[in-house]
Amino acid sequence: MSIVTVQLGQCGNQIGREVFNAICSDVHGTHGLCSKKENESYRDACKERFFCEEETEVPVARAVLVDMEPKVISQTLSMAARSGYWKYDDRSRFCQKQGSGNNWANGYSVHGPRHKEVIMNLVQKEAEKCDRLGGFFTIMSMAGGTGSGLGAFVTQCLRDAFPTSFILNHVIWPYGTGEVIVQNYNSVLTLSHLYQSSDAILVHENDVIHKICSQLMNIKQISFRDVNQVIAHQLGSVFQPTYTAEGGLHYSRNPLGSFQDPSLYTSWLNPRDAFNAWKTPRAFNKYEKSASLVSNSQFLLKPLDNVVGKAWNMFASKAYIHQYTKFGIEEEDFLDSFTALEQVISSYTIL
């Protein structure tokens, strides 16, 4: 089944391009761990999931690119085209020369409603190209104005327009040391809104990825692209098709005895239902053996509690609230967001 990717803001567009690069590099790689027939089946499944086979020399990504800065999207389009293996559809982009800066409210309350029709028309056209639409994958930052405010608005629009489709939001958790002064406000508002509209939220923490680049990959001067490529590799491996040559799915119900320990899971979940594994004999990119774990756990409790706590301290002193109220986000909206996330924290605490 096909996935339509929606890249939002500078962060979403840069990571989205790296994801498609990683997937396309994998598709064109030579792997000796599986038969030629299995490899062809894998490639076909991968292309159907992420690319359109249009009347062009190279596959076209199933993606919609959205940003308020034309420069970012222009760079994204040109870098993809230069790869020679894939490209974006130049008609599937939306950009306006009107930066919303780091103001969440401007992205959510102004740019979102103003450009809703154009953006959703682009999404609808991509969805109609799919023979079998599996769902939507959005990529955004939590801390920025366009990437978080507009991203939260677009996610709500996706839920309204495609009520039965699966929506997976991928968000980049900001550095703990701070990127923008109101990043905790933006994060609280983003997460609370996504929680209402999304089927699942997949999180990458910048601090964790930075450590991977430094400690595991021994990169001395870490760039944003280094960080983005690690994220893209992890995402690509998670989305790796697991089809056999006959089109079947490699699926193991009880793959690893240690993961069946009831103490690993909340009391109301049967371990047999709590852990599932998919496998394929084909390597991903240059790695002959790799494993990816997607976990719904208490891992984010501490960082979430920290973000909410810092945002609440700022809110209690009314710091920077005027930057939001002037665009229609009132204090009651903040309180609703705090309440929603406190409930999430409470639920995960008692798991």
One digit per residue, the tens of pLDDT, for the chain of length 351 reads: 899 999 998 899 999 999 999 998 888 776 666 777 777 887 888 888 899 876 677 889 999 999 888 888 999 999 998 988 889 998 888 877 665 456 889 999 999 999 999 999 999 999 999 988 999 999 999 887 766 899 999 999 999 999 999 999 999 988 888 767 899 999 999 999 999 999 999 999 999 999 999 999 999 999 889 999 999 999 988 887 765 445 554 544 445 677 778 888 888 878 777 887 777 777 788 777 777 888 888 888 999 999 999 999 999 999 999 999 999 999 999 999 999 999 999 998 987
Q: Which two tokens stand for residue 124?
A: 């609808």
d(C-alpha 123, C-alpha 64), whole Å: 6
pLDDT at residue number 212 = 92
Class of domain 2-242+260-350: alpha beta
Q: What's the CA gap between 53 and 59, in Å, rounded? A: 5
* Cα-based distances in Å from 296 to 201, 293, 300: 10, 10, 9
Q: Tell me the pTM.
A: 0.91
How far apart CA 292 and CA 318 sit, in angstroms, is 42
Domain ranges for the chain: 2-242+260-350
